[in-house]
Structure 1
Amino acid sequence: MQAIKHISIPQPCHEQWDNMKKEEQGRFCQSCAKTVIDFSVMTDQQVINYLSGTHNVCGKFDAMQFNTVNNKLYAQNLQQASWWKKLAIAGALTSMLPLFKAQAQDKPAQEQSDTIATPKTIMLGKVAGPVHSSKNRMLTGCVSDNRQPLIGVTVKLPGTNTAVATDVNGRFQITVPQDAKTLEFDYIGYNQLVTPITTNNYYDVKMDERRAMLGGVVVVRAPFYKRWYYRFVKRPVKKIFG
């Protein structure tokens, strides 16, 4: 089993799913000459379990599925990191016990070496191995307006099919090429926002509501004192003097 940090499809396949031959775990792609796994019918944990035991996978996902799976992976990696911290502290304390013992052990403790699998990022679509940091980078952030985080904002790399959606806390994470220039943010009822990609890996994004939407009329009124002057001074005087 391999530990997973993140999943994505950097180069989506353009073959038609409906034209592929049905198989037990998905459908067979004539172009790739391999089975495309249908992950859209799996739970997040089933996806993680499957990808942990294999590599070089082609798969079909729902649009929002990447976001939910990656959020679950992020939480699991945090828990795992916390567990290893506790283990390291316990190991350090244990190694200091001989300093406080009156008598040494007759038999020296045998050194043990635990091999920890290095977490690998699994790429879906047509995958040869983990993402190399020299070619890609992970961007994270939070999208909100002036009041609260925004759920379901589309975060996209312009000119590509690479996109994710923000979670219930407005957070997102997306893998982009090192030479990517901008990120595009789209949300119903808000102005589209294009943010330059800098050397930072975290982005705090603020979106503005549109002043007008389809089906609704926005009335922009004059200041109160101008309305009062027109109603109680200018209009009555105009009626008197014609």
Structure 2
Amino acid sequence: MIQSIKNISIPEPCSQNWDGMTPSTGGRHCAHCCKTVTDFTVMSNQQIIDLLSNSNKICGRFEPWQVEHINRDLRAISNRKSFWKHLALMAGILLLSNQSKSQTTTKKPGTEQIDEKKIPGEMASQDSTRFKTITGTVLSVSDGLPLPGTTIKVSGTTIGTMANENGNFTLKVPQSATELTITFIGFEMQTVRIAATDSQQEIKLLLKMKEMMMGEVIIKRPPFFKRVYYRFVKQPVKKYLNNRY
């Protein structure tokens, strides 16, 4: 039976050598632990979630960014489940409302929101009247390829930007800024010093990939009563609404 998952983690990474393990179905056999280590690096997030939903104890090997991405997808799944809960409540209210009321217009309930998105390669925020411009390129140290989506921020502030599809960025920062923090999922965080006086500066950033994550996967699940509620209440209601609407 598939069980809901809240999040996963590897609190105690394994230090054994992957290349020294014996190949086996789905991964490699660790002689030290006498367990099969599943190779999750060749699976999609959904495949991993499906496998872990039917598992209790499992050792695995992940790309350094995978655990964070999987937990992000699990949060999205949880939000969708919450949506169905609210939809069921709304459906109940509508069924109890006056059916004879004329409906000349239809309007979806909800509040319109404007989401201000960051534009890769452009400055994200400005909170000073005096700035200097930093331009640069972010590359992987292993293969020299650009790393689009890398976050470049003034250390200790919210002023930042993201590298574009070519790894290039332009960032206007306060004249007093002296350090940038560079982060990208799966790569080691880096800090670089910037000149305090130059109004125009160009830098080249080389990021190093984190090592693979390997070890026993700790699976956090909702409390038992929530799992029962989801199986015997929420799922039937969701199925009913799907069939009805």
TM value normalised by structure 1: 0.43
TM value normalised by structure 2: 0.42
